[in-house]
Amino acid sequence: MIDGFIALYIFALAAILGFEIIRKVPVVLHTPLMSGSNFIHGIVLVGAMIALGHADTTLEKVFGFIAVFLGAGNAAGGYVVTERMLEMFKPRVKKEDKDGEGS
C-alpha cells in the first residue's frame, strides 16, 4: 500500500517533470508529441490486465475485457502512429533514384 503522502509526492514530481519536459518544444513536434504522450498513457493496459486478472463476477469480467481491449488499442495504435510520424524526422539520406547528390 502506497502511503497517501508518498503518492502525493509521486503525483507532484511526475507533474513537474511533465511540465518541464514540454515547456519549450518546437511547433513541428507538437503533433508527434501529442501522439507520443498518447502512447505513454497506454500503460493503462497494465492496470486493465490486473483488473481483469482479479475479476470474479460476470460484470467484472465484461468490464475487464473491455478495459484490456481499449487499453491495448491505446498502446498498440499509439505506438504505430507515433512511429510513423517520427519516421519523417529521419535525417535525409541521398536520393537513390535521382542523379547527383541533391543538397
Is residue 17 near another protein by the rule CB under 8 A? yes
Is residue 69 near another protein by the rule CB under 8 A? yes
Which residue's C-alpha cell is 502511503? 3
CA distance 73 to 42: 8
Which residue's C-alpha cell is 492496470? 47
Within residues 37-66, the interface with another protein by CB under 8 A covers 37-55, 57, 59-61, 63-66
Is residue 9 near another protein by the rule CB under 8 A? no
CA distance 83 to 93: 18
Is residue 16 near another protein by the rule CB under 8 A? yes
Is residue 80 near another protein by the rule CB under 8 A? yes
